[in-house]
Homo-oligomer: A and B are copies of this chain.
Amino acid sequence: MAPQRSRQYAPGIARRAAIMESAFTAFGTIGYWNTTLAQIAQDCGVTRAGLLHHFPTKESLLEAVLARRDEVNRDLIFGGSQDPRRNPRDFLGKLIRLVEHNASQPGIVSLFAVLGAEATHPDHPAHAYFAGRYESVRSWIGEALRLLDQEGGLRPGSDPTAAAIELTALLDGLQVQWLYRPDAIDMPALFRQRINAQLVVPLDPAELHVTPVAGSATSAE
C-alpha cells in the first residue's frame, strides 16, 4: 500500500517544491513586496487555486522559503554528532564551510541580501525573523569566541562581543560585494583570514575540510 500512497502524494509534493523554487527566485531578485502570487503561479505553471491550496498567503510562502533555508544551514552547522558550540574551533570552521557553500549559490545569497535589507522595516512580514536571526548569529559567534578566549585561544586584545558583530557584518557585506564581482571577491578566503587573525593558532585546512585557495585571495582593484 505504501508505494501507492507515495505515488498519490508525489504530484502535490512536486508542485509544492516547484512553487517554493519560483518564490525563492522571485523574492531573491525583485524582493518580497514586488512579488505577486499570480506571477509565481504563472512561473511554475500551476493555477492560482493550486498555489493557494499549498500557500494561502504570500506571508506563508515567505515563511516556508525561509524555514527551508534555515534547515539547510542548520544541517551544515549543527548536522554533526556533537553541538559544535562545545568545540569553538570546529564551529568557526563550519561557519567558513557555510560561506564556501554559499559561494556556489548566488540565488540564496541574493535572497538573504534583498530580504534582510527590506525587512529592517518593522512592517515587513520577515522583520521578526531577520531581527531574531541576527541576534542568534551574533550570539553563536560570540559564545564560540568567549569559550576560545577562556581557553587562551584568542589573541590578546580581542573583544568577543565586538568581534561577533564584526564577523556577522563581514558575512553580509562580503556577500553583497561578491554578488557584484564574483570574480574579484573571494568570500570564504577573506572570512577565513579575518577569523584566523583573531586566533592564536590559525585553523588549518584539515579543520576546515576545504581546499586551500590557490594564489591571491583578493583582486578587487
Contact = CB atoms under 8 A, between A and B. Distances in A.
A221 B160 CA distance: 11
B142 A180 contact: no
A180 to B, nearest CB: 5
Interface in A14-52: 29-31, 33-34
Contact residues of A: prevailing secondary structure: helix
Number of copies: 2
A169 B179 CA distance: 12
A193 interface: yes
B177 A168 contact: yes
Interface string A179-214: 111000100001001100000000000000000000
Contact of A177 (B113, B159, B165, B180): B165
A134 B168 CA distance: 19
What size tier do the contact residues of chain A reach? 35 or more
Given A131-B180, A134-B180, A171 B173 contact: yes
A90 interface: no
A89 interface: no
A72 interface: no
Which of A113, A161, A180, A190 lies at the interface centre, i.e. has the most chain B CB atoms within 10 A of its CB? A180
A102 interface: no
A170 to B, nearest CB: 5
B165 A185 contact: yes
Interface stretch (A3-11, A74-82, A115-123): A115-123
Contacts of A218: 159, 161-162, 165
Contacts of A193: 162
Given A30-B33, A161-B218, A165-B185, A120 B180 contact: yes
A65 interface: no
A154 interface: no
A171 B169 CA distance: 8
A172 interface: yes
Q: Which 9 A-B pairs have the closest CB atoms?
A: A169-B173, A120-B179, A173-B173, A172-B173, A113-B117, A33-B34, A34-B34, A117-B117, A114-B117
